Chain A
């Protein structure tokens, strides 16, 4: 089955720790995205990548880092510099056309203890 997988489903972090969220896709999509979802605020873009070894900051990139070494993978690291990391994190992918339709993974819920 083609799709997007995210792991883990739930993640707990102590203050001061870095954690990495996994996102893998087998849709052969070039573009991948990370969004953060908070109650009542909708989805906000953290980082995106249109091609391997290239990525751009979104609207709320501070305190986060990414890498894109493989087409299929786009891991997100939440660093200790992110002051309020508790949220639901969603990964998406698309074919980078002028009118992209994005497909989403199941999400990772991160909680800071």
Chain B
């Protein structure tokens, strides 16, 4: 059974800081790992998808890494901005569905 955990559950930082969000999974035999952003009351926006054969993916100020052997993925946010405030979710597929973590709620204050 795949379980996905995200730490910390909440994070509040001043603008400009570099951040690391953590995602752990119990079964290392994953196909991929996907990071999402969710704004309050909104749907999920896909940020990055790392295939099982990849070690990292980058998009702008975001960098996601994947270490299957240790069951971990990290989302690195460089030079955080107030507009980055949202909940960040990681998920990995299990047969026909995605298994989600409970998310990290991020607040970046000016």
Contacts and interface: CB of A to CB of B under 8 A. Distances in A.
Interface of A: 4, 6, 31, 33, 40-43, 45, 48, 50, 56, 58-59, 88, 90, 92, 96, 98-107, 109
Contact of A42 (B46, B49, B102): B102
23 contacts: A31-B96, A33-B98, A41-B102, A42-B102, A42-B103, A43-B91, A43-B100, A45-B98, A48-B96, A48-B97, A50-B96, A88-B41, A90-B43, A96-B96, A98-B31, A101-B32, A101-B34, A101-B46, A102-B34, A102-B46, A106-B43, A107-B42, A109-B41
B71 interface: no
B44 interface: yes
Contacts of B41: 88, 107, 109
Nearest to A59: B97
Chain B, interface SS category: strand
Contacts of A103: 46
Contacts of A98: 31
Contacts of A109: 41
Contacts of B58: none
